[in-house]
Amino acid sequence: MAGKPDVLVIGAGLAGLTAAWQALTMGKRVRLIAKGWGMTHWHAGCIDVMGEGVDDDGGISDSAGHAMAGTAAVQPDHPYAILGRPKLNEAIDSFAQLCRAYEYPLVGNAGKNWMLPSAVGAARPTYLAPETMIAGDLTDQRPMLIVGLSQLNDFYPGLMADNLNAQGIPAAAVTVDLASLREVRHLNPVMVANRFHSLTFLDEIADAIRPHLNGAERVGLPAVLGFEQPIRVKLELEQRLGCQLFEIPTLPPSVPGIRLHRILVQEIRRLGGVVQEGFEVVAAEISGSRVLRVFSEAGARQKSHAADVFVLATGGILGGGMVAAQTGDIKETIFGLPLSGVKAQQDWLSHEYFDPQGHAVFKTGIRVNRDFRPIDETGSQFAENLIVVGTTLAHCDPLRERSMEGIAVATGFWGGRQAASNESS
């Protein structure tokens, strides 16, 4: 694609990639630039919509849909409240369809959250999970065997199994020592995942696990079942072991997250879009009510990027979309957009790490109107051709609420469509 794009997306997290994909489906010329990769490489690779929330009748619910409705009632500026439930559902469904088309189904649990085991054996609620994970659901009491690899330091099956047993799930643990890994000097989840593309390796690991099954009806492995065809890897292993298999997300880098990244990038390229990393956008040129161009840092001089519509998807404090300075100032890094929920520095962080309320500084974000255009406290719009999506939005703590991927996908989806049409509602 040469020349000026219709839509320039800034940020390669789940929100930015989803926005680029959607703008492309609407026939726009789209370029996505990013400083680097982000959230997809860190998160669990599931789509969390909401951990728990207020039910319609005021009770606590683990049903994502209900939780969302409750959230909207309690917090009217929450991104979900801006979207409304039908739009949230449509975005999540479309995303699941895209993954299905790439033979990587994301599966729901009849509108309720799955309770999947984390790598320490805690229950992790999530709305959509890849098919490679769902056999681990903890609402089901079937006995499981947790398998680690002796060269992989990022997974401790013993601790996980003990915690599962303490929660009433019969679980055993084994760490297998594979001959093919014995001479390897260092190993990370990505390196292991690459090995799963070989059938010999599948045979080897199946042979190593089999003697330890002892009646386990499902086997949990760290989430490393390859990148290309994880579903096939799962089926092949299940065939060899005669029981179900499930993946458990590990510390970053996240193999299941990278799979989602690859699906989106592939789809964007298939639709003629461009994805390029290494562009740290640092400034913008604005004329009247329009953003004309943004500038990225580059060798010797800044590079300018013009477009008709800009989508800001640079994330919050973790993604780098906002910086909180020692002086107590919090800034959106490119446009200096007005921020909402800014607290005095002494109130940024709770004294208690595990405070269920989370830490206020992470709720700072950008307030948008129904068209995802940033607005200030008076409701006045910053620019007519700037759209903001993803976890940079205000009035939510996506990490604590367990709404990270839900917010990213849903706002990215509709923000991308908005960018493509860019009409005021």
Select 74 or 251, whichever has its Cβ closest to another protein: 251
Q: Which of residues 26-85 bind another protein (CB under 8 A)?
A: 34-38, 41-44
Query: What is the maximum alpha-carbon separation in the chain?
Result: 71
Is 184 one of the binding residues for another protein (CB under 8 A)?
A: yes
Select 296 or 422, whichever has its Cβ closest to another protein: 296
Is 159 one of the binding residues for another protein (CB under 8 A)?
A: yes
Identified binder of another protein from the candidate list 299, 377, 380, 423, rule CB under 8 A: 299
Q: Which of residues 317-376 bind another protein (CB under 8 A)?
A: 317-320, 323-326, 345-346, 348-349, 351-354, 356, 359, 361-362
Shortest Å, Cβ 415 to another protein: 20
Select 206 or 221, whichever has its Cβ closest to another protein: 221
Shortest Å, Cβ 116 to another protein: 10
For residues 396 and 407, is the Cβ–Cβ distance under 8 A? yes
Is 3 one of the binding residues for another protein (CB under 8 A)?
A: yes
Q: Which of residues 366-425 bind another protein (CB under 8 A)?
A: 399-400, 402, 404
Select 100 or 269, whichever has its Cβ closest to another protein: 269
Select 210 or 303, whichever has its Cβ closest to another protein: 303
Is 182 one of the binding residues for another protein (CB under 8 A)?
A: no
Is 286 one of the binding residues for another protein (CB under 8 A)?
A: no
For residues 132 and 230, is the Cβ–Cβ distance under 8 A? yes
